[in-house]
Amino acid sequence: MLLTTLCVYIFAILRSSDGMFRFASYYGDHMVLQKAPEKAVLWGFGPDNAEVTIYLSGQSTAPVVSVVDGIWRVALVAVKAGGPYNITAVTQNQSITLTDVLFGDVWLCGGQSNMAFTTNQVLNASDEMALASKFPRVRIFMASLIQSHTELTDLDGVEVPWSVPTAELLGGGDFRHYSAVCWMFGRLLYTTLGYPIGLVGSYWGGTPVEVWSSPRALKRCGLHRSNWFPKSSTLTSWPWSTNSVLWNAMIHPLLNMTLKGAIWYQGEANTEYHLNKYNCTFPSMIDDWRMAFHQSSGGQTAADFPFGFVQLSTYINSSLPDGFPSVRWHQTADYGFVPNPRMKNTFMAVAMDLGDKTSPFGSIHPRDKLDVAYRLSLGARAVVYGETSLAFQGPFPNKFLINDQYINVTYDQRVSVTQSKNIFEIRCSEVQTSCNPLSSPWVPAPIMQWGQSYVLVSTRDCSSSVAGLRFAWTDWPCDFKACPVYSADGVLPAPPFSFDKWSPRNGLVH
């Protein structure tokens, strides 16, 4: 592995310094560049001290830049959504032209296997792939799966060059071609926005967040690049030798591009690796990506660009909690919802009600990716595109009232409720201990009754006072689209939560 990575790095250095005049690997015919008000960034390689002129069809101005240390880079004038355009780069006696270039919003899609889950694997795959021809202005790109122990300047490989979508491209091999969530998110956005969408896929199955994080992001959470992975796992074979190897090879080479935002589906691998640090490592990765893309694009990618993610779905249909509910909670920096003060300008798709026991790809890979993408698109439309009246979050508690018979859980919106005996749980304890403030076991708190925006859950099984309340705190909390608490229209599930009497952020009120 080390020899292979070293060879990749040496090849990348040689390729970037050989004086060959070219665009960086990310660019190509049929691509989408970020539209106004941001400026799209173009860059590439060339002989030192040469001057490069960039021509955009239909534009009267042509910026000229110099090649410095083998690299040229320019920010175009801001271009409104539309196209197609041709872009020509000229130096000395050489020219390169990119054809059929559109301007729109560019979204980066990252994560592990549920993001890598391809369109031919989803429910109703043939119907979904047949839609490809109806969305020629949603363009797709995918980086190759490459690891590196050092930060690469350019992508070392491209799995799917910029392309107009086709059924063949979307229907590639299992986990190895184009992401279903990424594609569906893009086409749903296009249906709403009506202008081009560019989708940049950079994902790899079985990966923990640490391999996608820079050393500086890991350092903020007390981790280091040299942390080694376990040799075996129930979820993955762990082919990663050290942290940051995919940040180096599959994210760092993209930093110069101008992005609108990113979506992310990952977390399963961290149920067995640094689980208790995920409430730091995930938000820190987001912060670091934002800083790096903003700086490397010359300020064109927003310093707080929007970041959407999928809260983990399900794996094992068991009544016993494991790492999955903990990761779901940590994905929100332990707030239970986003956006929140720690994770601003983010949005989340809850997926714990989309479990798939009969998935031929394993229950950890549910096939209903359309609802995942739809819920992500609702978040993007509300948080990013300003549809202020659009419901994009499931109900979340904003008040608790407790007595010796019940807890009144009041939600921040109207709810649709069905009966459940065990989705809510309470912990009964009189004493807060120094090592574990909630030392007694959790017991079911059956739903007693409900109203437009509240649920009453029973506390009768508590012989002492109630010290904690949690909701949906198991790996597989409910059947397919059958959780007990949804938004009033029955579309968006309430996310899991866990609160205790001594919580500094949210407590139980007597």
pLDDT single digits (tens) 428-445: 875 444 445 445 789 999
> What is the structure's pLDDT at 340?
96
Query: Is pLDDT at 3 greater than 90 in this prediction?
Result: no
Q: How far apart are CA 447 and CA 423, in angstroms?
A: 8
> What is the structure's pLDDT at 310?
98
Q: What is the mean pLDDT of the segment spanning 386-400?
A: 94
CB atoms within 10 A of CB 196: 26
> What is the structure's pLDDT at 510?
44
DSSP string, 378-407: HHIIIIIS--TT---S---EEEEEE-SSEE
- Whether 188 and 309 map to the same domain: the answer is yes
Q: For residues 127 and 112, is the Cβ–Cβ distance under 8 A?
A: no
> What is the structure's pLDDT at 435?
46
Query: Is pLDDT at 220 greater than 90 in this prediction?
Result: yes
Domain count of the fold of the chain: 3
Q: How confident is the model at residue 17 (pLDDT cuts 50, 70, 90)?
A: very low
> What is the structure's pLDDT at 7?
40
> What is the structure's pLDDT at 16?
44
> What is the structure's pLDDT at 434?
42
**Which whole-number Å values give the CA distances from 62 to 58, 59, 70, 180, 488, in the listed order?**
11, 7, 21, 38, 54
Residue 121 in domain: yes
Where a domain ends, among 82, 100, 118?
100
CATH number of the domain to which 143 belongs: 3.40.50.1110
pLDDT single digits (tens) 101-146: 999 999 999 999 999 999 999 999 999 999 999 999 999 999 999 9
Q: What are the backbone dihedrals phi and psi of residue 91, each rounded to the nearest 5 degrees, phi first?
A: -150, 135
CB atoms within 10 A of CB 199: 27
- Whether 380 and 461 map to the same domain: the answer is no
- Whether 364 and 404 map to the same domain: the answer is no
Residue 391 in domain: no
- Whether 142 and 72 map to the same domain: the answer is no
> What is the structure's pLDDT at 93?
87
Q: Which residue has the tokens 């780069």?
A: 89
End-to-end CA distance of the chain: 59
Residue 392 in domain: no
Q: For residues 28 and 98, is the Cβ–Cβ distance under 8 A?
A: yes
pLDDT single digits (tens) 50-62: 999 999 998 888 8
> What is the structure's pLDDT at 234?
53
Where a domain ends, among 352, 384, 416?
384
Q: How confident is the model at residue 294 (pLDDT cuts 50, 70, 90)?
A: very high
Query: Which of 398, 383, 404, 407 has the alpha carbon at shortest distance from 456?
Result: 407
- Whether 375 and 418 map to the same domain: the answer is no
- Whether 318 and 374 map to the same domain: the answer is yes
pLDDT single digits (tens) 455-504: 999 998 887 788 899 999 999 999 999 999 999 999 999 999 998 875 65
Query: Is pLDDT at 320 greater than 60 in this prediction?
Result: no
Q: What is the mean pLDDT of the segment spanning 36-59?
A: 95
- Whether 237 and 143 map to the same domain: the answer is yes
pTM above 0.85, yes or no: yes
What are the residues facing 44 on neighbouring strands?
23, 72
> What is the structure's pLDDT at 209?
97
Q: How far apart are CA 383 and CA 378, in angstroms?
A: 9
Q: What does the radius of gyration of the chain's CA atoms come to, in whole angstroms?
A: 24
- Whether 361 and 481 map to the same domain: the answer is no
- Whether 425 and 349 map to the same domain: the answer is no
Residue 509 in domain: no
Q: Using CB atoms within 10 Å of the CB of residue 375, give its burial: 0 to 12 exposed, 13 to 18 middle, 19+ buried.
A: buried
Query: Is pLDDT at 157 greater than 80 in this prediction?
Result: yes
Q: How far apart are CA 158 and CA 396, in angstroms?
A: 42
Q: What is the mean pLDDT of the segment spanning 301-312?
A: 98
- Whether 82 and 139 map to the same domain: the answer is no
Query: Which of 438, 387, 443, 447 has the alpha carbon at shortest distance from 416?
Result: 447
| Mean of the per-residue pLDDT values of the chain | 90
Q: In which domain, by residue range, is 493 found? A: 397-500
Query: Is pLDDT at 360 greater than 70 in this prediction?
Result: yes
Take residue 92 and report the two structure tokens written for it. 């000395």
